[in-house]
Structure 1
Amino acid sequence: MSVRRDFLSQPAPENYVAGLGRGATGFTTRSDLGPARDNEEAIKAAVAKRQAQLGLIKDGKNDLDLDDEDDGRYGDPDNEVGLFAGGIYEKDDEEADRIWKEVDDRMARRRQKWREAREKAEREEYERKFPKIQQQFAGLKRALEAVTEEEWANLPDPKDLTGRTKRARQARMQRFYAVPDSVLAAARDQGQFGTTVVEDGTATEVNKDGTVTDFAKIGAARDKVLRARLEQQSQSSGIATAGSATSIDPKGYLTSLANASVGEQSIGDIEQFRKMLKSAVDSNPKQAASWIAAARLEIAAGKPGAARALIAKGCQHCPKSEDIWLENIHINDNRNAKVIAAQAIQANPHSVKLWVEAMKLENDVRSKKKVIRRALDHNPTSEALWKEAVNLEEDPADARMLLAKATELIPESLDLWLALARLETPDNARKVLNKAVKKLPSSHELWIAAARLEEQLGEGTKRPVMKNAVKFLAKQNAMPKREEWIAEAEKCEEEGAVVTCASIIEETLGWGLDEDDDRKEIWMEDAKGCISRERFHTARAIYAYALRVFPNSRSLYLAAVELEREHGTKEDLERALEKAVEACPHVEAFWLMLAKEKSGEINEARKVLARAFKQNPDNEDIWLAAVKLEADNGHVDQARELLRTARQNAPTDRVWMRSVAFERQQGNPQAALELVQDALRLFPNAPKLWMMKGQIYEDLGKIELARDAYSGGVRAVPSSVPLWLLYSRLEERAGNVVKARSVLDRARTAVPKNPELWTELIRVERRAGNLSQARALMAQALQQMPRSGLLWAERILYLEPRTQRKALITEAIKKVEDDPILQVTAARILWAERKLDRAQNWFERALLLDRDLGDTWAWYYRFLCQHGTEEKRKELIAKCVLNDPRHGEVWQRVAKDPRNAGKKTEEVLELVAQQLGQAV
């Protein structure tokens, strides 16, 4: 056998580097470079030889030339050398940097929209391609509802594969041994103890391990903690002492005792902290923080005397520390505190905090003034001391003299200048502010104060203070950002300076923006932010400025009108609408809103509509508004004449429909029938005209003619869902359920995947008593339209047992999150379960989703009639009138009934609530 060396005796492999596997790096030693006494040529030769071995010598030229200097590309720009070594960062450089920064910011804002849109699209695409595990298995989890209990019980047990894991291998390696009885006996006796009473009457505990516990010391420590708590409570408001009697509020005492920090710390902890702080003080007696901590510990432990002694000793070691003197003053009574304050000031005559604390220790104003004046002798340039001195003066003249002296000594103090300007007369205040501007040329607060002064004098609109301010600050390169100016305007509005607020916005809102920016959108966002912070005057000023830049902007005028409607007076709203109709005379919406605001005065409303006719002679909305105005005020003949003229000048289907509806409301079915016949010859594809024709025949009791009208309507306009519904309901009311079902089947063929048609078919089957067929149709409908809130509501409320409603509504809301019909359904279920607060929250949520759905308002109103207050009902009615809902399954049927013509929104709300109650 050949003799083989062991591992450590074998030679290392070629190119082996020790520690390379652990992340170690190589290094060069002196042996690699040669002897230290070699000259420079020898060192260079050694380095070249070493690099040649590494393959770094190419074509006879050394790539690592020791004589080459560092590449300038890797230099520090903040540590310039060479040409720029002596450069100075001047104002021109600062201005250039600021301009380049503004350019970068503007370019970033311009690209922000596109960048955010691109990121959003990428994120949605990623989520679509790589859905979460929860989303992938959502359908499988829902399918587990169909698993029966027997199938669950027959599921096979999983195999035990833990034997292959590392933890299992380690468990197999463990070995267990039998435990001797002596170990078990020792463990049993470990928690036991014996109590003996010695001759002196003290109780001790003798443990099995030989230690002894003295119960007397434990009791003394407990008494000490209680005494400390009582002393601390006596210093607060919990204990009141009168003579020799002490009264304790039990409730207050227990509350404060629960919050006391001493109660949370044991005596052993306090002793440990005391030793640690004593060691810190002894090791470094010049550190004031250690002395302060030690004194506070004694205060917490209920030893104020020891705390005073410690802090006094600390003051001797740290006489120049303000904090330790202040702590000493605070833990002593007033008499001793004055002596300590005098010693502290003697050691620190230029400490403002100590002078102010000494002033607070005095009881009378005269003594306070004396202390402050002595303090000013030592610290004449302290702004805080001058403010304290001014606050002590009761005479404005004396305060004015002090402020004049203070501004001479501290000309850079903005607060002192503003205070002096407030105390001076208006003429002198102007002089003071002018002088302050010279001392503080970069302060915009002084210019705002000057503008507010002019506003107080009634000359805010005459003197262009803010205009001059912008020019001056721009020249000084001290112009704040536009966001800061808006904040200053809001502050002025909060303090009642409305004119100054508007002046600030007028002069600074366009600062930093050019024509390339989306200025209109930016200003509208600024105004919305002000409205959210309830700064309506600032928002009004922003809209006014934006409208001067964009005088014909319809969106800006709409936003301004909405602001006045929500937060302004009636006069402000009318004024805004007058400006809107002058700037945008061809926008009929402004004319209609202005006429509606003046509807209480019919003559003024007529004048508005007459002006609107001149600007928009053939506009059907204005014609119909004039008809509504006359009809609501009882002028039937004038309304009929206006409609006749409108059919000649603006012959649209809406005008003809309004004419037919007007005659139906006046109780003239024959005239309405003639009008609708004429209208259908002109507009055969208008579904509402066919519906009106059928409804007129129904009112007259001519069912066959009504059926022919609906049948002709669905042939002419097969895509009209309301027309199909009216046709089906006519057949159902006539007792022909089969024909109604046939009509709805044809409708679903003409208009596929329409939830209203499916819901009506399901209701036909349900009203006919075919619940099984209704459930089968519902399953088909939800398979085609799983995100229809109308279908889910119909299934939950009418096709499933009451016990399953909660589970179904939870599943439906997961699939259809923002559907107001489902939200109302959830509220009705909670209402039935007497969970009124939660039901009210769901009603509120449904209103936030869609304020135009009248059925939601009616259900909520019905709920409040049973469980709400009168104030809440009035608030809901006011909101409903303000939003003026127009849609809803029951709401439209009630509101468009000719018998309810002319009823106000609150009356329609009452009628719809009653019908909903009958439907339940």
Structure 2
Amino acid sequence: MASNKPNKLAFLSMPAPASYVAGLGRGASGFTTRSDIGPAREGPSAEVIAEAQARRGEEAEVDPDQFQDPDNEYGLFAGTTYEQDDEEADRIYEAVDDKMDSRRRKQREAAEQAQLAKHRAERPKIQQQFADLKRGLSSVTDAEWESIPEVGNLTRKKRRRTDDNSRTYVVPDSVLVGDRSKVEYESALDSRQQEQGGFDTPADGGLTNFVEIGQARDKILSLKLDQISSTPATSGLSTSIDPRGYLTSLDSVILKSDAEIGDIKRARMLFDSLVKSNPKHAPGWIAAACLEEHAGRMVKARKIIKMGCEECKTSEDVWLEAARLHNNDDAKVILANAVQHVGQSVKIWLAAADLEHDIKAKKRVLRKALEHIPNSVRLWKETVNLESSAADARILLARAVEVIPLSVELWLALARLETPERAKAVLNKARKAVPTSHEFWLAAARLLEQEAMLPGKGTEQREKELAIVDKTIEAATRNLRQHRVLLTREQWLKEAEKCETEGSPRTCEAIVKATVGMDIEEEDRLDTWVSDAESAEARGMVGTARAVLSYALRCYPDRRSLWRRAAELEKAHGTRETLDALLQRAVTHCPQAEVLWLMAAKEKWLAGDVPAAREVLERAFVANPESEQIWLAAVKLEAENGEFAVARELLIRARSVADTERIWMKSAVFERQQGQLDTALATLSSALSKFPKFAKLYMIQGQIHESLNHVPAARASYAAGTKACPKEPTLWIMAARLEEKDGKSIKARALLDKARLINPANDRLWAEAVGVEERSGGAVQAKAMLARAIQECPSSGLLWSMALWAEPRASRKTKSVDALRTTKDSPLVVCTVARVLWADRVVERARDWFGRASVLDPDMGDVWGWWLKFERQHGNEEQREIVRNKCIAAEPHHGAVWQVVAKDVKNVGKSTKEILEMVADELK
């Protein structure tokens, strides 16, 4: 039965249809081989390929440029004419395209720029990555460039060996065999020795004396050296070798590297080209000669500079360089030739004078120079300086001012050499010759001041002559203003400081009087003058500062701050007499200024004149009858001098005249110091009835009850105080300490907790709470309390000081840095850092830190106590005395330990030095 399935083998054996191309359905181009179609058969035509692509649904490829050119001979519009309408249509289409393109162009360009910037930020160029480093190369110094190491071979390629000694080779076997035979012993006798009858024995036993060989070698070497260093008598020749300085001379030999030699060669070529192309350029010849000098070729350098002198005969620099490169005698000849060409050069003549070692020869050269250049001030000054007698110098200067009448220096030099009378005449001539110079006026004023201060003159006569100095300076300012010479007030003040430095204080004062008010608005005068005085004082010009303040006081005699500033200046730099005179004037002009009265009374008291101090205070009472400060100063004066009855009477009168809370407090303190505790308590009771909100009254009352061991009464006083003055931390602290002293630490904690609620963020209350925990034995609780305290008061120097000592010793330095940064250099923290350094035995740094703490807050007495305690252990007596003197000058009043010691009743009347010693003993 026949099968209906197609015969696959028969299909494959069938011939291919016409124009069949294998793979055409998959998109392949048709190709045939010569074995298929023979030697001349063509491939499928374009129509067949297009038909096959159409059956598959593909579109035929079209040339995009086919319809673009109107002149294209095979395009769609080939053969048509491009008319004016077509051109107009194309122009309209182009305008439409441009209009469409201009829409949102800015937004599109901004978006493109943003995208480009983002791309550059994400993937920057290598040039941008190293831009900052390239800019940083501008600050690299020469030493840093030279310290850059040479770059080695980083290519990891095998380099060719340049050192032949480091190469190894295989040793031949013959060499090994030969070396092996060297260490073998011959067991047979030499046949020649056997024929002679045996070996010959040396006479010395066969031992070699190496010592004699070495001595002989040294002797031969010394003979050769002597022959070289000696001068042969027959030949008359000498050697250039110095046997003593030979090695020393080798040190002076400059060894140049290959790179430096190459640089010299290139520079030589450059300078050769320069001098050849521009032979009249003097710096080129000088640079070429200096190059040869640097290279060690002095002969070539001299030859080059000689050629430069021939080419640039009018350049003084070339002649001076030539003189420098030659020895002294040759330099004289060179400068003599230079004078022939540049006879008007001052430098040439001065260089020629410097070459002369004889004073007469120098004078001769300089006088010859003055014949050529008579109007040179420098030559005249050099010539005058060589004169040994004042008479000869005066004659020369007289001739100099005739030749150069406009030289201020020569006129002033002549005036200094003349007598006072003739100096006045010289200055008058100078002022007429140069009317625009202020220096002649100042010299005249200083001359008048010197005459007035001569010994043997009375006070009135001296004052009259000194008044002429003021008139001279006033005339100077008017005359200079007429000649349109307007110096600023800053320039005049500098001249005043110069006069003060040179020992003319009255001239300085006259300049200030005449010029300090120039160019200042009326409302800015006082501030400007105070600023001028402070800046002058900072520069050490005390006379100028005093003159400025004196003029300001004449203009503003009723300003208390100005008088106080002047008094502080006199106290710091003046004498006791000048300060007393100033204060007397001050209280006369400002009778209501209590501070000035107190300063005047204190100065009298410090001078030991107690009656004068009483007199000052009596005058102060008349001017200020209700002044609290004056009443208390009078009480202190009487109490310090042992007049306790008078002091008590003054306090009673003060309570009736000036009924203030502070006077009542001082009355209670005075009675307490005198041991009258009942009277003191009665005074406090009366005071509290009048001033129930004054916290110090409760404190003193509680302290008196504590001293009498009346704990309930003291507790009641503190309780009343905290109720009446809840915002006073000291009252809460004293109440807590009373409870702690009574053994009731729990109640002390409760009081401090209540105080912190009423007074939040108070570092003293937190520090007291930490102290209660430490004294109760709770170190962990104290540390936790301290952490909470620092959180609430992060910038407290007191708490950070406690935190530093709570840290282990190893971490204190790191904690110190944090404390200083957080508290902004608090004096307590700086003092604690000094104590940390003291504990680490860093003595010098600890001393520096104690000094810094004392400067930051001189009123902190505990800092001075710690510093003195440190100097007791590590310093000498001189250093301890420095600390005491600085503390006495600062007069501190605050500090946890300082206030306790200073306000103790037992220490009443003790000086600052005694208090300091006691504080240093108390500190632990």
TM-score (norm 1): 0.72
| 2:714 is the counterpart of 1:706 | yes
Q: Which residue of 1 aligns with 2:26?
A: none
Shift of 1:383: 1.5
**Residues of 1 paired with 2:673 and 2:726: CA distance?**
28
| 2:402 is the counterpart of 1:408 | yes
**Residues of 2 paired with 1:195 and 1:331: CA distance?**
50
**Residues of 1 paired with 2:788 and 2:63: CA distance?**
87
Shift of 1:368: 2.1
| 2:716 is the counterpart of 1:722 | no
Shift of 1:846: 1.9
Q: Which residue of 2 aligns with 1:613?
A: 621
Of 766, 782, 792, the match for 2:774:
766
* 1:533 aligned partner, one-letter code: R
* 1:448 aligned partner, one-letter code: L
**Residues of 2 paired with 1:5 and 1:405: CA distance?**
103
Distance 1:870 1:398, change over 3 A: same
Determine helix, strand or coil for the equivalent of 1:642.
Answer: helix
* 1:696 aligned partner, one-letter code: I
* 2:548 aligned partner, one-letter code: I
* 1:794 aligned partner, one-letter code: M
Of 527, 531, 537, the match for 1:521:
527
Q: Residues 665 and 901 of structure 1 are in contact (CA less than 8 Å); yes or no, is this contact kept in structure 2?
A: yes
Q: Which residue of 1 aligns with 2:160?
A: 189
Shift of 1:285: 2.1
Distance 1:262 1:843, change over 3 A: farther
Map 1:372-771 to 2 at 5 A. Answer: 372-458=366-452, 459-463=465-469, 464-516=471-523, 518-599=524-605, 600-771=608-779
For residues 373-410 of structure 1, the C-alpha deviation after alignment (integer angstroms, 9 at most, x for no partner) is 22122112121122222222223233222222222222
Q: Which residue of 2 aligns with 1:819?
A: 826
Map 1:134-149 to 2 at 5 A. Answer: none
| 2:314 is the counterpart of 1:320 | yes
Shift of 1:821: 1.4
Shift of 1:505: 0.8
Q: Residues 341 and 358 of structure 1 are in contact (CA less than 8 Å); yes or no, is this contact kept in structure 2?
A: yes
Q: Residues 262 and 300 of structure 1 are in contact (CA less than 8 Å); yes or no, is this contact kept in structure 2?
A: no
Shift of 1:895: 0.6
* 2:519 aligned partner, one-letter code: G
Shift of 1:450: 1.3
**Residues of 2 paired with 1:327 and 1:359: CA distance?**
16
Q: Which residue of 2 aligns with 1:223?
A: none
Of 787, 796, 807, the match for 2:814:
807
Shift of 1:483: 0.6
Shift of 1:808: 2.6
Q: Residues 447 and 469 of structure 1 are in contact (CA less than 8 Å); yes or no, is this contact kept in structure 2?
A: yes
Determine helix, strand or coil for the equivalent of 2:467.
Answer: coil
Of 900, 904, 907, the match for 1:900:
907
Distance 1:822 1:331, change over 3 A: same
**Residues of 1 paired with 2:122 and 2:304: CA distance?**
66
* Deviates further, 639-648 or 518-527: 639-648
Determine helix, strand or coil for the equivalent of 2:620.
Answer: helix
| 2:892 is the counterpart of 1:885 | yes
Distance 1:857 1:305, change over 3 A: same
Shift of 1:858: 1.1
Shift of 1:414: 1.1
* 2:542 aligned partner, one-letter code: F
Shift of 1:820: 1.3
Of 821, 845, 851, the match for 1:844:
851
Unpaired runs of 5+ in structure 1?
12-52, 54-160, 169-182, 197-241
Q: Residues 623 and 642 of structure 1 are in contact (CA less than 8 Å); yes or no, is this contact kept in structure 2?
A: yes
Shift of 1:313: 2.2
| 2:297 is the counterpart of 1:303 | yes
Determine helix, strand or coil for the equivalent of 2:557.
Answer: coil
Q: Residues 564 and 573 of structure 1 are in contact (CA less than 8 Å); yes or no, is this contact kept in structure 2?
A: yes
Q: Which residue of 2 aligns with 1:797?
A: 805
Shift of 1:515: 1.0
**Residues of 2 paired with 1:812 and 1:162: CA distance?**
45
For residues 703-750 of structure 1, the C-alpha deviation after alignment (integer angstroms, 9 at most, x for no partner) is 111111111111222222111111110010000111111221222232
For residues 644-699 of structure 1, the C-alpha deviation after alignment (integer angstroms, 9 at most, x for no partner) is 22222222121121121122222222222222222222222211111111111111
Q: Residues 452 and 460 of structure 1 are in contact (CA less than 8 Å); yes or no, is this contact kept in structure 2?
A: no
* 2:290 aligned partner, one-letter code: R
Of 272, 276, 280, the match for 1:286:
280
Shift of 1:262: 6.5
Map 1:109-258 to 2 at 5 A. Answer: 165=123, 187-189=158-160, 191-192=162-163
Determine helix, strand or coil for the equivalent of 1:607.
Answer: helix
For residues 332-382 of structure 1, the C-alpha deviation after alignment (integer angstroms, 9 at most, x for no partner) is 222222211111111111111111222222232222222222212211212
For residues 410-456 of structure 1, the C-alpha deviation after alignment (integer angstroms, 9 at most, x for no partner) is 22211111112212222222222222222222211121111111111
**Residues of 1 paired with 2:325 and 2:258: CA distance?**
22
Q: Which residue of 2 aligns with 1:341?
A: 335
Q: Residues 451 and 460 of structure 1 are in contact (CA less than 8 Å); yes or no, is this contact kept in structure 2?
A: no
Give the alignment's Cα RMSD to 1 decimal.
Answer: 3.2
Distance 1:618 1:164, change over 3 A: closer
Kindly name which structure, 1 or 2, has the bigger radius of gyration based on alpha carbons. Answer: 2
Distance 1:603 1:698, change over 3 A: same
Distance 1:439 1:193, change over 3 A: farther
**Residues of 2 paired with 1:440 and 1:261: CA distance?**
60
TM-score (norm 2): 0.72
Distance 1:297 1:625, change over 3 A: same
Distance 1:341 1:894, change over 3 A: same
For residues 745-794 of structure 1, the C-alpha deviation after alignment (integer angstroms, 9 at most, x for no partner) is 22223222211112111211221122333333333322222222222222
Shift of 1:247: 5.1
* 2:159 aligned partner, one-letter code: R
Percent identity, aligned pairs only? Answer: 46
Distance 1:895 1:261, change over 3 A: farther
Determine helix, strand or coil for the equivalent of 1:818.
Answer: coil
Shift of 1:190: 5.3
* 1:331 aligned partner, one-letter code: L
Distance 1:266 1:691, change over 3 A: same
**Residues of 1 paired with 2:823 and 2:489: CA distance?**
43
**Residues of 1 paired with 2:573 and 2:888: CA distance?**
16
**Residues of 2 paired with 1:167 and 1:545: CA distance?**
69
Determine helix, strand or coil for the equivalent of 2:522.
Answer: coil
For residues 275-306 of structure 1, the C-alpha deviation after alignment (integer angstroms, 9 at most, x for no partner) is 33233222222222122222222332333333
For residues 621-651 of structure 1, the C-alpha deviation after alignment (integer angstroms, 9 at most, x for no partner) is 1111111112222222222222222222222
Q: Residues 261 and 300 of structure 1 are in contact (CA less than 8 Å); yes or no, is this contact kept in structure 2?
A: no
Shift of 1:553: 1.5
**Residues of 1 paired with 2:528 and 2:303: CA distance?**
65
Q: Residues 695 and 706 of structure 1 are in contact (CA less than 8 Å); yes or no, is this contact kept in structure 2?
A: yes
**Residues of 2 paired with 1:557 and 1:333: CA distance?**
69
Distance 1:489 1:280, change over 3 A: same
* Deviates further, 718-727 or 780-789: 780-789
Q: Which residue of 2 aligns with 1:867?
A: 874
Q: Which residue of 2 aligns with 1:97?
A: none
